[in-house]
Structure 1
Amino acid sequence: MVAFNTYFALALALVGSVVAAPTAVPEAALEKRVTHTGRGTFFNVGLGACGKTNVDSDHIVAIPSSRFANGDHCEQFVQITNTKTKKTALALVRDSCPGCGGGDLDMSPSLFQALGATLDQGVMTVSWHFMNKSFRG
């Protein structure tokens, strides 16, 4: 009976340690939950680093080269908010921005305007985050 109680207690301890063990979250999943803040600018789109040709009326965004990850974010949606106007829009990652800082975005003219800025303004402050890769707009 003592041996049974010892084995039973050991089994409960093992089950408890497995249940209480933290689950590792992939770093890529955490990236999607992080909100970045930086400068938002616009550019005339064309053939982007993702290999797609776009026009200025498309809601296209170029993300910082430091986040581009060899194209891993191509075709991923980004939710962008103009921090001044509070207007929000969705855009597809289709390009890399070598001159952008870590939180900056370069946007198609139509996207820039959809966020409540004029092209004459040229720059705005934006906050943004990647949408889940399964999100299809």
Structure 2
Amino acid sequence: MVAAYSGDATYYYTGLGACGAESKDTDYIVALSTELYDNGAHCWQHLTVTYEGKSIDVTVVDECEGCSTYDIDLSPSAFSALAPESAGRIPVQWTYA
């Protein structure tokens, strides 16, 4: 069974991520908390993120220094696939895909 995590999702404007690649706001990407980023141990892994019955696939490309352990920071397009940006912060479930 795959472990599911609960946390809040926010969004950030992308650029050069901690995994070393340049990303665009239209990419479906995610930043993990510093604790889970673990010096890049999860770079390029995929997560399935679910909110109110909608699920998306995102790729780990960055570290979120301000995130609590299970919180994630999504690109604007990935966040918008789940909720309007005006929501700002939403409670999500996520798993490593």
Deviation at 1:49, TM superposition (A): 0.3
- The residue that corresponds to 1:118 in the other structure is 84
Aligned-pair identity (%): 38
Counterpart Cα distance in 2 of 1:102 and 1:34? 15
Identify the structure with bigger relative contact order (alpha carbons < 8 Å, sequence gap 6+): 2
User: Residues of 1 paired with 2:78 and 2:8: CA distance?
Assistant: 14
The TM-score, its normalising length taken from structure 2, stands at 0.96
Aligned residues: 97
Give the unaligned 5+ runs of structure 2. none
Partner residue of 1:53 out of 22, 25, 37: 22
Alpha-carbon RMSD across the aligned residues, in angstroms, is: 1.1
Q: Residue 94 of structure 2 aligns with which residue?
A: 128
**Structure 1 or 2: larger helix share?**
1
* DSSP-derived class of the 2:87 partner: coil
Instruction: Decide which structure has greater strand share.
Output: 2
SS at match of 1:54: coil
> Which of 62, 65, 70 is equivalent to 2:34?
65
Larger Rg: 1
Matches within 5 A, 1:1-137: 33-82=2-51, 85-115=52-82, 117-131=83-97
Q: Where in structure 1 do 4 or more consecutive aligned residues deviate above 4 Å?
A: none
